Structure 1
Amino acid sequence: MPDQTRFKGPAMNAVILKPRVGYCDIDDRLVFLDVDRDRYLMIAPELEMAVRDLVAGRVLDAKGLETLAATGLFISSHAAAGSSHPFSGIRAARALCDRAEVTSDKLAFGAHYVAAFLCLAFFHLVARYCPLRMKIFLATSLARSGEKALLPSKIPVLLAAFHSASLVFPRKDRCLADALALHAYLALSRLRTTLVFGVQLGPFQAHCWVQHEDVVLGQDIETVRAFHPVLALP
Protein backbone atom coordinates (compact mmCIF):
# COMPACT_ATOMS: atom_id res chain seq x y z
CA MET A 1 0.00 0.00 0.00
CA PRO A 2 1.39 3.45 -0.81
CA ASP A 3 2.59 5.49 2.16
CA GLN A 4 0.26 8.37 1.28
CA THR A 5 -3.31 8.58 0.07
CA ARG A 6 -4.04 11.85 -1.70
CA PHE A 7 -7.31 13.69 -1.90
CA LYS A 8 -8.37 16.22 -4.49
CA GLY A 9 -8.86 19.75 -3.22
CA PRO A 10 -8.05 23.27 -4.38
CA ALA A 11 -5.11 23.24 -6.77
CA MET A 12 -2.80 25.01 -4.34
CA ASN A 13 -4.21 23.57 -1.11
CA ALA A 14 -4.75 19.81 -0.89
CA VAL A 15 -4.39 17.29 1.93
CA ILE A 16 -3.04 13.77 1.96
CA LEU A 17 -3.04 11.11 4.60
CA LYS A 18 0.09 11.15 6.68
CA PRO A 19 2.59 8.37 6.07
CA ARG A 20 1.68 5.23 8.03
CA VAL A 21 -1.97 6.23 8.35
CA GLY A 22 -4.75 4.14 6.84
CA TYR A 23 -8.50 3.95 7.14
CA CYS A 24 -11.49 1.86 6.19
CA ASP A 25 -15.26 2.31 5.97
CA ILE A 26 -17.28 0.08 8.30
CA ASP A 27 -21.05 0.48 8.46
CA ASP A 28 -20.79 4.07 7.23
CA ARG A 29 -18.17 4.99 9.83
CA LEU A 30 -14.52 5.67 9.10
CA VAL A 31 -11.93 3.95 11.28
CA PHE A 32 -8.33 5.15 11.11
CA LEU A 33 -5.06 3.55 12.15
CA ASP A 34 -2.28 5.99 12.97
CA VAL A 35 0.90 3.96 13.39
CA ASP A 36 2.96 6.88 14.69
CA ARG A 37 0.45 7.52 17.47
CA ASP A 38 0.00 3.77 18.05
CA ARG A 39 -3.78 3.95 18.01
CA TYR A 40 -6.99 3.29 16.14
CA LEU A 41 -9.44 6.18 16.18
CA MET A 42 -12.58 7.65 14.67
CA ILE A 43 -13.37 11.27 13.82
CA ALA A 44 -16.48 13.40 14.20
CA PRO A 45 -19.30 12.75 11.69
CA GLU A 46 -18.90 16.19 10.11
CA LEU A 47 -15.23 15.47 9.49
CA GLU A 48 -16.15 12.11 7.99
CA MET A 49 -18.40 13.96 5.58
CA ALA A 50 -15.45 16.15 4.60
CA VAL A 51 -13.32 13.08 3.93
CA ARG A 52 -16.07 11.55 1.80
CA ASP A 53 -16.38 14.80 -0.14
CA LEU A 54 -12.68 14.74 -0.87
CA VAL A 55 -12.81 11.09 -1.94
CA ALA A 56 -15.66 11.96 -4.29
CA GLY A 57 -13.59 14.78 -5.78
CA ARG A 58 -15.65 17.61 -4.33
CA VAL A 59 -13.69 20.72 -3.39
CA LEU A 60 -13.43 21.86 0.22
CA ASP A 61 -12.56 25.38 1.24
CA ALA A 62 -9.31 26.16 2.99
CA LYS A 63 -10.95 26.07 6.42
CA GLY A 64 -12.28 22.57 5.83
CA LEU A 65 -8.88 21.33 4.75
CA GLU A 66 -7.24 22.96 7.76
CA THR A 67 -9.76 21.26 10.04
CA LEU A 68 -8.85 17.89 8.60
CA ALA A 69 -5.16 18.64 8.99
CA ALA A 70 -5.83 19.53 12.64
CA THR A 71 -6.87 15.92 13.32
CA GLY A 72 -3.24 14.91 12.93
CA LEU A 73 -4.23 12.34 10.32
CA PHE A 74 -3.68 14.53 7.27
CA ILE A 75 -0.96 16.83 6.05
CA SER A 76 -1.04 19.64 3.52
CA SER A 77 0.28 19.02 0.04
CA HIS A 78 0.51 21.07 -3.12
CA ALA A 79 0.10 17.86 -5.14
CA ALA A 80 -3.61 17.27 -5.68
CA ALA A 81 -3.46 14.23 -7.95
CA GLY A 82 -3.53 10.65 -6.79
CA SER A 83 -5.69 7.80 -5.59
CA SER A 84 -8.15 8.39 -2.79
CA HIS A 85 -9.05 4.76 -2.20
CA PRO A 86 -8.89 3.99 1.53
CA PHE A 87 -7.22 0.59 1.06
CA SER A 88 -5.18 -0.25 -2.02
CA GLY A 89 -3.78 -3.56 -0.82
CA ILE A 90 -4.85 -6.87 -2.33
CA ARG A 91 -7.86 -8.45 -0.66
CA ALA A 92 -7.28 -11.91 0.77
CA ALA A 93 -8.79 -14.65 -1.39
CA ARG A 94 -7.37 -17.84 0.12
CA ALA A 95 -5.10 -19.05 2.88
CA LEU A 96 -2.13 -21.31 3.33
CA CYS A 97 -2.01 -22.51 6.91
CA ASP A 98 0.81 -23.94 8.95
CA ARG A 99 -0.40 -27.52 9.37
CA ALA A 100 1.98 -29.04 6.84
CA GLU A 101 3.79 -32.25 7.62
CA VAL A 102 7.40 -31.97 8.74
CA THR A 103 9.79 -32.46 5.88
CA SER A 104 12.01 -35.51 5.72
CA ASP A 105 14.99 -33.15 5.63
CA LYS A 106 15.26 -32.76 9.39
CA LEU A 107 18.37 -30.57 9.13
CA ALA A 108 16.63 -28.02 6.91
CA PHE A 109 13.54 -28.06 9.10
CA GLY A 110 15.71 -27.51 12.17
CA ALA A 111 17.35 -24.48 10.57
CA HIS A 112 13.93 -23.02 9.71
CA TYR A 113 12.75 -23.71 13.26
CA VAL A 114 15.71 -21.86 14.79
CA ALA A 115 15.17 -18.85 12.51
CA ALA A 116 11.46 -18.80 13.33
CA PHE A 117 12.15 -19.15 17.06
CA LEU A 118 14.59 -16.24 17.05
CA CYS A 119 12.13 -13.98 15.19
CA LEU A 120 9.32 -14.92 17.55
CA ALA A 121 11.50 -14.42 20.62
CA PHE A 122 12.52 -10.98 19.44
CA PHE A 123 9.00 -9.71 18.76
CA HIS A 124 7.41 -11.40 21.78
CA LEU A 125 10.08 -10.63 24.36
CA VAL A 126 12.06 -7.62 23.13
CA ALA A 127 9.93 -5.60 20.74
CA ARG A 128 7.01 -5.50 23.19
CA TYR A 129 8.71 -2.52 24.78
CA CYS A 130 8.97 -0.63 21.48
CA PRO A 131 6.28 1.66 20.05
CA LEU A 132 4.28 0.30 17.14
CA ARG A 133 6.19 2.39 14.59
CA MET A 134 9.51 0.89 15.71
CA LYS A 135 8.12 -2.65 15.74
CA ILE A 136 6.92 -2.26 12.17
CA PHE A 137 10.23 -0.73 11.11
CA LEU A 138 12.14 -3.66 12.58
CA ALA A 139 9.91 -6.18 10.81
CA THR A 140 9.66 -4.43 7.45
CA SER A 141 13.33 -3.42 7.19
CA LEU A 142 14.05 -7.01 6.26
CA ALA A 143 11.46 -7.04 3.48
CA ARG A 144 13.89 -5.53 0.98
CA SER A 145 15.75 -8.85 1.01
CA GLY A 146 12.62 -10.74 -0.04
CA GLU A 147 11.90 -11.77 -3.59
CA LYS A 148 8.57 -10.75 -5.04
CA ALA A 149 7.72 -14.08 -6.62
CA LEU A 150 5.06 -16.76 -6.63
CA LEU A 151 4.76 -18.90 -3.55
CA PRO A 152 7.71 -21.33 -3.59
CA SER A 153 7.18 -25.01 -2.97
CA LYS A 154 9.03 -24.76 0.34
CA ILE A 155 6.52 -22.36 1.90
CA PRO A 156 4.53 -25.13 3.69
CA VAL A 157 7.73 -26.25 5.42
CA LEU A 158 8.55 -22.67 6.42
CA LEU A 159 5.08 -22.25 7.89
CA ALA A 160 5.24 -25.62 9.66
CA ALA A 161 8.52 -24.64 11.30
CA PHE A 162 7.08 -21.28 12.30
CA HIS A 163 3.98 -22.91 13.78
CA SER A 164 6.08 -25.37 15.78
CA ALA A 165 8.23 -22.57 17.16
CA SER A 166 5.21 -20.41 17.98
CA LEU A 167 3.87 -23.03 20.41
CA VAL A 168 6.60 -22.04 22.85
CA PHE A 169 5.20 -18.53 23.23
CA PRO A 170 2.06 -17.25 25.01
CA ARG A 171 -1.18 -17.87 23.17
CA LYS A 172 -3.08 -14.76 24.33
CA ASP A 173 -3.12 -11.44 22.44
CA ARG A 174 -0.38 -12.59 20.12
CA CYS A 175 -1.52 -11.68 16.62
CA LEU A 176 0.67 -8.58 16.25
CA ALA A 177 3.86 -10.18 17.58
CA ASP A 178 3.28 -13.33 15.51
CA ALA A 179 2.56 -11.35 12.34
CA LEU A 180 5.65 -9.18 12.75
CA ALA A 181 7.78 -12.25 13.43
CA LEU A 182 6.35 -14.13 10.44
CA HIS A 183 6.86 -11.13 8.16
CA ALA A 184 10.51 -10.87 9.22
CA TYR A 185 11.08 -14.63 9.14
CA LEU A 186 9.76 -15.02 5.61
CA ALA A 187 11.83 -12.03 4.48
CA LEU A 188 14.92 -13.80 5.82
CA SER A 189 13.81 -16.80 3.75
CA ARG A 190 13.66 -14.44 0.74
CA LEU A 191 9.90 -14.30 0.41
CA ARG A 192 8.38 -10.82 0.25
CA THR A 193 5.06 -10.45 2.05
CA THR A 194 2.66 -7.72 3.13
CA LEU A 195 1.73 -6.88 6.71
CA VAL A 196 -2.00 -6.14 6.91
CA PHE A 197 -3.91 -4.52 9.76
CA GLY A 198 -7.67 -4.94 10.04
CA VAL A 199 -10.50 -3.87 12.34
CA GLN A 200 -14.11 -4.69 13.15
CA LEU A 201 -16.75 -2.86 15.16
CA GLY A 202 -19.38 -3.97 17.66
CA PRO A 203 -17.35 -4.64 19.72
CA PHE A 204 -14.16 -3.08 18.44
CA GLN A 205 -11.39 -5.55 17.65
CA ALA A 206 -8.13 -5.23 15.75
CA HIS A 207 -6.17 -7.95 14.00
CA CYS A 208 -2.94 -8.29 12.05
CA TRP A 209 -1.89 -10.87 9.48
CA VAL A 210 0.63 -11.61 6.72
CA GLN A 211 -0.20 -11.97 3.02
CA HIS A 212 1.72 -12.93 -0.09
CA GLU A 213 -0.28 -11.32 -2.89
CA ASP A 214 -3.85 -12.55 -2.17
CA VAL A 215 -2.81 -15.50 0.01
CA VAL A 216 -3.01 -15.28 3.81
CA LEU A 217 -0.11 -17.12 5.41
CA GLY A 218 -0.40 -19.06 8.65
CA GLN A 219 -4.04 -18.19 9.43
CA ASP A 220 -7.48 -19.38 8.40
CA ILE A 221 -9.18 -17.28 5.74
CA GLU A 222 -12.38 -17.16 7.81
CA THR A 223 -10.57 -15.38 10.64
CA VAL A 224 -9.12 -12.74 8.35
CA ARG A 225 -12.35 -12.11 6.44
CA ALA A 226 -14.04 -11.02 9.66
CA PHE A 227 -11.87 -7.88 9.63
CA HIS A 228 -11.87 -4.85 7.33
CA PRO A 229 -8.33 -4.08 6.09
CA VAL A 230 -7.27 -0.61 7.18
CA LEU A 231 -3.54 -0.49 6.34
CA ALA A 232 -1.06 -2.66 4.44
CA LEU A 233 2.71 -2.29 4.69
CA PRO A 234 5.35 -4.05 2.54
Structure 2
Amino acid sequence: MGFVLADGLSYGVGANQAIFLAIASDRYFCLSPKLNEAFLALAQGQNIDQHHIKSLIADRIICDAVGDNDIRAVRVPVAERSLATRAARYTRAVRSPVALFDRVYVKRVLAKKGLPRLLTQDLSNLLYERSERGADDIAQIVEAVHAAGRIFGAKDQCLSQSLLIRRQMQRCGYGAALVFGVRLLPFQAHCWLQRGVTVLDDHHEHVAQFTPVFAS
Protein backbone atom coordinates (compact mmCIF):
# COMPACT_ATOMS: atom_id res chain seq x y z
CA MET A 1 0.00 0.00 0.00
CA GLY A 2 1.18 3.50 -0.82
CA PHE A 3 -0.03 7.06 -0.61
CA VAL A 4 -1.11 9.69 -3.11
CA LEU A 5 -2.03 13.34 -2.80
CA ALA A 6 -5.64 13.99 -1.90
CA ASP A 7 -7.90 14.84 -4.85
CA GLY A 8 -7.68 18.42 -6.03
CA LEU A 9 -4.40 19.08 -4.25
CA SER A 10 -1.11 20.15 -5.79
CA TYR A 11 2.10 21.45 -4.31
CA GLY A 12 5.58 22.81 -4.94
CA VAL A 13 8.66 23.08 -2.75
CA GLY A 14 10.57 26.28 -2.02
CA ALA A 15 13.27 26.64 0.63
CA ASN A 16 12.37 23.19 2.03
CA GLN A 17 8.76 24.27 2.49
CA ALA A 18 5.89 22.44 0.80
CA ILE A 19 3.37 24.98 -0.48
CA PHE A 20 -0.04 23.54 -1.32
CA LEU A 21 -2.87 24.69 -3.56
CA ALA A 22 -6.39 23.31 -3.16
CA ILE A 23 -7.71 23.88 -6.67
CA ALA A 24 -11.45 23.85 -6.02
CA SER A 25 -11.33 26.35 -3.15
CA ASP A 26 -8.42 28.40 -4.55
CA ARG A 27 -6.68 28.10 -1.18
CA TYR A 28 -2.94 28.18 -0.59
CA PHE A 29 -1.49 26.78 2.63
CA CYS A 30 1.57 25.29 4.34
CA LEU A 31 1.97 22.63 7.01
CA SER A 32 3.39 22.99 10.50
CA PRO A 33 7.20 22.66 10.60
CA LYS A 34 7.18 19.10 11.95
CA LEU A 35 4.46 17.89 9.60
CA ASN A 36 6.16 19.64 6.68
CA GLU A 37 9.39 17.78 7.46
CA ALA A 38 7.54 14.48 7.66
CA PHE A 39 5.64 15.10 4.42
CA LEU A 40 8.80 15.96 2.48
CA ALA A 41 10.51 12.86 3.85
CA LEU A 42 7.56 10.72 2.73
CA ALA A 43 7.63 12.34 -0.70
CA GLN A 44 11.31 11.34 -0.97
CA GLY A 45 10.46 7.72 -0.22
CA GLN A 46 11.53 7.68 3.41
CA ASN A 47 9.62 5.98 6.21
CA ILE A 48 7.94 8.30 8.70
CA ASP A 49 6.16 7.82 12.02
CA GLN A 50 2.62 6.48 11.89
CA HIS A 51 1.25 9.42 13.85
CA HIS A 52 2.52 11.76 11.12
CA ILE A 53 0.86 9.60 8.47
CA LYS A 54 -2.40 9.67 10.41
CA SER A 55 -2.16 13.46 10.71
CA LEU A 56 -1.55 13.87 6.97
CA ILE A 57 -4.53 11.66 6.19
CA ALA A 58 -6.76 13.42 8.73
CA ASP A 59 -5.78 16.80 7.27
CA ARG A 60 -6.65 15.49 3.79
CA ILE A 61 -3.13 15.94 2.46
CA ILE A 62 -2.65 12.32 1.42
CA CYS A 63 -4.81 9.22 1.11
CA ASP A 64 -4.25 5.47 0.80
CA ALA A 65 -3.65 4.01 -2.64
CA VAL A 66 -2.70 0.72 -4.24
CA GLY A 67 0.93 0.56 -5.31
CA ASP A 68 3.89 2.78 -4.55
CA ASN A 69 3.81 6.31 -3.18
CA ASP A 70 3.06 9.01 -5.73
CA ILE A 71 3.14 12.37 -3.99
CA ARG A 72 5.54 14.22 -6.25
CA ALA A 73 5.67 17.99 -6.39
CA VAL A 74 4.59 19.72 -9.57
CA ARG A 75 7.36 19.85 -12.16
CA VAL A 76 7.79 23.00 -14.21
CA PRO A 77 10.92 23.61 -16.33
CA VAL A 78 12.77 26.79 -15.39
CA ALA A 79 11.69 29.52 -17.81
CA GLU A 80 14.59 30.81 -19.89
CA ARG A 81 12.93 33.34 -22.15
CA SER A 82 9.81 35.38 -22.78
CA LEU A 83 7.68 35.47 -25.90
CA ALA A 84 8.68 38.40 -28.08
CA THR A 85 5.67 40.73 -28.12
CA ARG A 86 5.22 44.34 -29.05
CA ALA A 87 3.56 46.97 -26.91
CA ALA A 88 -0.15 46.22 -26.46
CA ARG A 89 -2.06 47.96 -29.23
CA TYR A 90 -5.75 48.64 -29.70
CA THR A 91 -6.80 46.79 -32.86
CA ARG A 92 -9.99 45.35 -34.33
CA ALA A 93 -9.17 42.06 -32.62
CA VAL A 94 -9.63 43.78 -29.26
CA ARG A 95 -13.28 44.61 -29.90
CA SER A 96 -14.28 41.58 -31.97
CA PRO A 97 -17.49 39.84 -30.82
CA VAL A 98 -15.60 36.59 -30.17
CA ALA A 99 -12.97 38.32 -27.99
CA LEU A 100 -15.66 40.14 -26.01
CA PHE A 101 -17.64 36.92 -25.54
CA ASP A 102 -14.55 35.08 -24.32
CA ARG A 103 -13.80 37.81 -21.79
CA VAL A 104 -17.32 37.73 -20.37
CA TYR A 105 -17.40 33.93 -20.39
CA VAL A 106 -14.13 33.50 -18.48
CA LYS A 107 -15.06 36.03 -15.81
CA ARG A 108 -18.55 34.61 -15.38
CA VAL A 109 -17.40 31.00 -15.07
CA LEU A 110 -14.66 31.94 -12.59
CA ALA A 111 -17.15 33.84 -10.47
CA LYS A 112 -19.98 31.30 -10.52
CA LYS A 113 -18.45 27.86 -11.09
CA GLY A 114 -14.79 28.20 -10.19
CA LEU A 115 -11.46 27.45 -11.79
CA PRO A 116 -11.87 23.66 -12.29
CA ARG A 117 -14.64 24.31 -14.84
CA LEU A 118 -12.07 26.06 -17.05
CA LEU A 119 -9.40 23.39 -16.63
CA THR A 120 -11.13 20.50 -18.35
CA GLN A 121 -8.04 19.76 -20.45
CA ASP A 122 -4.60 19.17 -18.91
CA LEU A 123 -1.97 20.83 -21.10
CA SER A 124 0.95 20.47 -18.70
CA ASN A 125 2.70 18.23 -21.25
CA LEU A 126 3.32 21.42 -23.26
CA LEU A 127 5.84 22.44 -20.59
CA TYR A 128 8.18 20.12 -22.48
CA GLU A 129 7.31 21.39 -25.95
CA ARG A 130 10.32 22.59 -27.93
CA SER A 131 8.61 23.73 -31.12
CA GLU A 132 8.09 27.46 -31.63
CA ARG A 133 5.18 26.85 -34.01
CA GLY A 134 2.75 29.73 -34.09
CA ALA A 135 4.91 32.16 -32.11
CA ASP A 136 3.82 35.13 -34.23
CA ASP A 137 0.12 34.21 -33.99
CA ILE A 138 0.38 33.70 -30.24
CA ALA A 139 2.17 37.03 -29.83
CA GLN A 140 -0.72 38.78 -31.61
CA ILE A 141 -3.25 37.11 -29.30
CA VAL A 142 -1.28 38.14 -26.20
CA GLU A 143 -0.94 41.71 -27.47
CA ALA A 144 -4.67 41.97 -28.19
CA VAL A 145 -5.71 40.58 -24.79
CA HIS A 146 -3.32 42.88 -22.95
CA ALA A 147 -4.58 45.87 -24.93
CA ALA A 148 -8.18 44.98 -24.10
CA GLY A 149 -7.18 44.56 -20.47
CA ARG A 150 -6.26 48.23 -20.32
CA ILE A 151 -9.75 49.13 -21.49
CA PHE A 152 -11.67 46.68 -19.30
CA GLY A 153 -9.57 47.21 -16.19
CA ALA A 154 -7.73 43.90 -16.02
CA LYS A 155 -4.86 45.11 -13.83
CA ASP A 156 -3.79 42.46 -11.28
CA GLN A 157 -6.06 39.87 -12.93
CA CYS A 158 -3.39 37.46 -14.12
CA LEU A 159 -5.67 34.42 -13.86
CA SER A 160 -8.52 35.70 -16.02
CA GLN A 161 -6.05 37.19 -18.51
CA SER A 162 -4.09 33.93 -18.82
CA LEU A 163 -7.27 31.87 -19.18
CA LEU A 164 -8.54 34.24 -21.83
CA ILE A 165 -5.30 34.06 -23.80
CA ARG A 166 -5.25 30.27 -23.60
CA ARG A 167 -8.86 30.03 -24.70
CA GLN A 168 -8.14 32.14 -27.78
CA MET A 169 -4.94 30.21 -28.48
CA GLN A 170 -6.84 26.92 -28.44
CA ARG A 171 -9.36 28.31 -30.87
CA CYS A 172 -6.44 28.89 -33.26
CA GLY A 173 -5.00 25.42 -32.73
CA TYR A 174 -2.32 26.26 -30.16
CA GLY A 175 -1.90 25.46 -26.50
CA ALA A 176 0.09 26.31 -23.39
CA ALA A 177 0.30 25.17 -19.79
CA LEU A 178 -1.23 27.35 -17.09
CA VAL A 179 1.20 27.62 -14.17
CA PHE A 180 0.45 28.84 -10.66
CA GLY A 181 3.28 30.06 -8.46
CA VAL A 182 3.64 31.43 -4.95
CA ARG A 183 6.04 33.74 -3.14
CA LEU A 184 5.88 33.48 0.65
CA LEU A 185 7.59 36.60 2.03
CA PRO A 186 5.50 38.58 1.51
CA PHE A 187 2.80 36.18 0.32
CA GLN A 188 1.82 36.64 -3.30
CA ALA A 189 0.21 34.25 -5.78
CA HIS A 190 0.67 34.58 -9.51
CA CYS A 191 -0.06 32.62 -12.67
CA TRP A 192 1.23 32.62 -16.22
CA LEU A 193 1.20 30.66 -19.46
CA GLN A 194 4.29 28.67 -20.35
CA ARG A 195 5.22 26.55 -23.35
CA GLY A 196 8.50 24.72 -22.98
CA VAL A 197 10.91 27.19 -21.38
CA THR A 198 9.11 30.20 -22.84
CA VAL A 199 6.73 32.37 -20.81
CA LEU A 200 4.00 33.69 -23.09
CA ASP A 201 2.19 36.41 -21.15
CA ASP A 202 4.76 37.67 -18.66
CA HIS A 203 8.52 38.06 -18.34
CA HIS A 204 10.55 35.01 -17.41
CA GLU A 205 12.62 36.97 -14.88
CA HIS A 206 9.43 38.02 -13.10
CA VAL A 207 7.95 34.52 -12.81
CA ALA A 208 11.30 33.24 -11.50
CA GLN A 209 10.37 34.88 -8.19
CA PHE A 210 7.56 32.35 -7.69
CA THR A 211 7.65 28.69 -6.67
CA PRO A 212 5.41 26.69 -9.04
CA VAL A 213 2.69 24.81 -7.16
CA PHE A 214 0.34 23.75 -9.97
CA ALA A 215 0.35 23.29 -13.73
CA SER A 216 -2.43 22.26 -16.09
TM category, shorter: 0.7 to 0.9
Match of 1:165 in 2: 148
Match of 1:175 in 2: 158
Structure 1 gaps of 5+ residues are 1-11
Match of 2:57 in 1: 69
Q: Deviations over 1:132-167 (max 9, x none)?
A: 4xx243254496xx9x75331422222222222222
Match of 1:231 in 2: 214
Of all paired residues, the percent bearing the same amino acid is 27
C-alpha distance 173-161 of structure 1, shift in aligned 2 (>3 A) = closer
Q: Deviations over 1:33-70 (max 9, x none)?
A: 11123200111111111112112321235443222111
Counterpart AA for 2:117: F
Of the structure 1 ranges 199-208 and 86-95, higher mean CA displacement relative to structure 2 is found in 86-95
TM-score normalised by length of structure 1: 0.77
Q: Distance in 2 between matches of 1:101 and 1:182?
A: 13
Q: Does 1:86 align with 2:73?
A: yes
Greater than 4 Å deviation, 4+ residue runs: 111-114, 139-143
C-alpha distance 87-199 of structure 1, shift in aligned 2 (>3 A) = same
Q: How many residues align?
A: 209
C-alpha distance 120-41 of structure 1, shift in aligned 2 (>3 A) = same
TM-score normalised by length of structure 2: 0.82
Q: Distance in 1 between matches of 2:34 and 2:137?
A: 51
Q: CA RMSD in A?
A: 2.8
Match of 2:112 in 1: 130
Match of 2:133 in 1: 151
Q: Does 1:18 align with 2:9?
A: no
Q: Distance in 2 between matches of 1:187 and 1:163?
A: 17
Alignment partner of 2:178 out of 190, 195, 202:
195
Asked if 2 retains the 8 angstrom alpha-carbon contact of 1:98 and 1:219, the reply is no
Q: Secondary structure at the match of 1:231?
A: strand
C-alpha distance 136-166 of structure 1, shift in aligned 2 (>3 A) = farther
Q: Secondary structure at the match of 1:99?
A: coil
Equivalent positions of 1:24-103 (< 5 A) are: 24-82=12-70, 84-99=71-86
Q: Distance in 2 between matches of 1:150 and 1:172?
A: 28
Asked if 2 retains the 8 angstrom alpha-carbon contact of 1:15 and 1:76, the reply is yes
Q: Distance in 2 between matches of 1:162 and 1:93?
A: 23
* Superposition deviation, residue 81 in structure 1: 4.9
Match of 1:216 in 2: 199
